[in-house]
Amino acid sequence: MFYKEEKLLLLIDGANLYAASRALQFDIDYRMLRSEFVKRGRLTRAIYYTSLLENDDYSPIRPLVDWLHYNGYYMRTKTAREYTDSTGRRKIKGNMDVELTVDAMEHAPNIDHIVLFSGDGDYTPLVASLQRQGVRVSVVSTLRSSQPMIADELRRQADEFIELDDLRGLIGRELSEPVKAEV
């Protein structure tokens, strides 16, 4: 449920949206995504959150980050840290939850409706706080992948849950490379 005169803010957890769209076997067309939400209300800002690997001369996400930056998205990036855990496995840490939360709280007084593109249950307290401030919050993720990509508590807290698969025809495009089946 969107109203033409409401001020919209899009908060996009890049890694989470990427994983959800890949699980549904499609890519996001970010030009179409922005256009779709411009039609739904007064889009004040679309912010994309992602981390980039340190000491990586070429990051596969860099072309997307640059394209988004030049095409109307505000970018929030930070350097991901690579480390080895106690079992000897290589891990990458680059969580953007705090940055997204701070931006949401700072924008809340001037926004009517926030659309959060993430299924991360860690955002449930943020959604509740925004609602107490009078902001409506829609969450975009999916239940239709082999394993649901949205935490049940986040889906229940949101004013509206938008199934990403239902947006496929509006914001999706064929995969640039097929997803390989896991064996």
> What tens digit of pLDDT does each residue of 5-16 get?
999 999 999 999
Cα dihedral 92, 97, 100, 106 sign = negative
152-160 average pLDDT score: 98
Distance separating alpha carbons of residues 24 and 21, to the nearest angstrom: 5
Q: Is the pLDDT of residue 46 over 50?
A: yes
107-123 average pLDDT score: 98
CA neighbor of 131 nearest in space, from 141, 119, 143, 139: 139
Residue 56's pLDDT band (cuts 50, 70, 90) = low
In the predicted model, what is the mean pLDDT of the chain?
Answer: 91
The pLDDT assigned to 95 comes to 84
> Would you say the pTM of this structure is higher than 0.75?
yes
Burial class (CB in 10 A: 0-12, 13-18, 19+), 129: middle
- Please identify which residue in the block is written with the tokens 């840290």: 81
CB 40 within 8 A of CB 13: no
- SS3 at position 116: strand
Residue 132's pLDDT band (cuts 50, 70, 90) = very high
Burial class (CB in 10 A: 0-12, 13-18, 19+), 89: exposed
